Amino acid sequence: MRTLKDLFAVRTRELPSPVASGSPAVEAAGLSVRLGQRQVLDSVDLTAHAGEVVALVGPNGAGKSTLLAALAADLTPGSGEVRIDGRPATAWSAPELALRRSVLPQAAVLSFPFPVEDVVRMGRAPWAGTEREDEDDAAVAAAMAATEVTRFAARPFSALSGGEKARVALARVLAQRAPLMLLDEPTAALDLRHQELVLRICRERAAAGDAVVVVLHDLGLAAAYADRAAVLHDGRIAELGPPDEVFSGELLGEVYRQPVEVFPHPRTGTPLIVPVRQN
């Protein structure tokens, strides 16, 4: 059966080989991007390694989503380079890239009312015709269970609430089982419980050896779950490092133009970030 399938495979794709924990999954070097007249990214260097969660934080318009899109090889940088799995992103074909990185877009849209399970199964499309196709059912079931969407597997996607749609979109990304996950604001539409759930999933993926880059607005979540955080400011990385070192009241106050207080959680010691409020 296998040989038959190989015979009819239109083109052989190079499957990703397992990577050692700590080796770079995606590297951006001297990345600059202009959109129209605006310099959205200005010589950004960032590496995400296998086994870590990197959070991208910063105010609106700082370039977080653009950086994520560049890491996903969605846009060609004006200068600089993105390397995925050790090779320049432009050297991979679209099908090969799909085996190496999965991307969660900011808004989950769908033109036709596919049932939820079919949407999640779309995440398996890159593996069609490879030996890992056999994982399809298990990967879909696991992704739906992890994001707690199994209960509405048969419902049409269009009938879901915003938060449910976001979780289904995440399940699709998880089902793809790519060694690099790029998530653009996965928690934006979610309630408290599911925000925590999503970040726990990120940690699990990292523990399993994947690299996770996640754009977050909630600094508390970033502080609690990320191994490293990159604070973006006007298209540059203002600071990059472990959250408890990077998140200082001074830096965040300047970047967000809003005074904040940072203090350790009394029990866990994780930094808590609270805006300074007058009352």
Partner 1 sequence: MTTSYEERTGSVEKSPDGPVAKAAPKSSRSTAYLLTATLSLALLAGCLLSAAIGAYNIPLGDVLSSVQHRIGLGGQELDRVGESVLWNVRLPRVALALLVGASLGCAGALMQGVFGNPLAEPGVIGISAGAAVGAVAAIALGLTFFGNWTITVFAFIAGLITVLLVYTLSRSGGRTEVVTLILTGIAVNAFAGALIGLFIFFADNAQITQITFWQLGSLSQATWPKVLAVLPCALAGLLIAPFYSRKLDLLALGERPARHLGVDVERLRIVLVLVVALLTAAAVAVAGIISFVGLLVPHLLRMANGPGHRFLVPGSALGGALVLVAGDLAARTVAAPAELPLGVLTALFGSPFFFWLLRRTRRKQGGWA
Taking the least distance from each CB to partner 1, the nearer of 41 and 108 is 108
Residue 229 CB neighbours (<10 A): 26
Output phi, psi for 166, to 5 deg.
Answer: -60, -40
Residue of the chain from 17, 60, 161, 268 that contacts partner 1 (CB under 8 A): 161
> Which range binds partner 1 by CB under 8 A, 21-29, 153-161, 206-214, 232-240?
153-161
For 40-54, the three-class secondary structure string (H helix, E strand, C coil) is EEEEEEEEEECCCEE
Instruction: Show the tokens assigned to 191.
Output: 């309630």
- By CB under 8 A, the residues from 60 to 99 that bind partner 1 are 72, 74, 93-99
Residue of the chain from 76, 79, 90, 158 that contacts partner 1 (CB under 8 A): 158
Q: What is the closest distance, in whole angstroms, from the C-beta atom of residue 167 to partner 1 in the complex?
A: 10
Taking the least distance from each CB to partner 1, the nearer of 78 and 105 is 105
Rounded CA Rg of the chain:
19
Residue 166 binds partner 1, judged by CB under 8 A? no
CA-closest candidate to residue 50, choices 16, 74, 76, 91 = 16
Residue of the chain from 153, 238, 251, 272 that contacts partner 1 (CB under 8 A): 153
Counting residues that bind partner 1 (by CB under 8 A) gives 47
Distance, in Å, from the CA atom of 77 to the CA atom of 217, rounded to the nearest integer, reads: 24
Distance, in Å, from the CA atom of 172 to the CA atom of 121, rounded to the nearest integer, reads: 7
> Which range binds partner 1 by CB under 8 A, 32-40, 49-57, 117-125, 259-267?
117-125
Taking the least distance from each CB to partner 1, the nearer of 122 and 272 is 122
Taking the least distance from each CB to partner 1, the nearer of 98 and 230 is 98
Please report which residue ranges of the chain form alpha helices under DSSP H: 2-8, 64-71, 94-98, 116-122, 136-146, 162-175, 192-207, 219-225, 243-246, 249-256
Instruction: Show the tokens assigned to 202.
Output: 């990120």
Taking the least distance from each CB to partner 1, the nearer of 98 and 262 is 98
Distance, in Å, from the CA atom of 166 to the CA atom of 106, rounded to the nearest integer, reads: 9
CB-based contact 198:222 (threshold 8 Å): no
Residue of the chain from 1, 3, 60, 193 that contacts partner 1 (CB under 8 A): 193
> Which range binds partner 1 by CB under 8 A, 40-48, 108-116, 211-219, 257-265?
108-116
Residue 188 binds partner 1, judged by CB under 8 A? no
3-class state of residue 235 by DSSP:
coil
Q: Say if strands 271-275 and 260-264 run parallel, antiparallel, or are unpaired.
A: antiparallel
Single-letter amino acid, residue 40: V
Taking the least distance from each CB to partner 1, the nearer of 98 and 260 is 98
Q: What is the closest distance, in whole angstroms, from the C-beta atom of residue 164 to partner 1 in the complex?
A: 7
Give the binding site for partner 1 (CB under 8 A): 72, 74, 93-99, 101-103, 105, 109-115, 117-119, 121-123, 125-126, 128, 141, 144-145, 148, 150-151, 153-154, 158, 161-164, 172, 176, 189, 191, 193
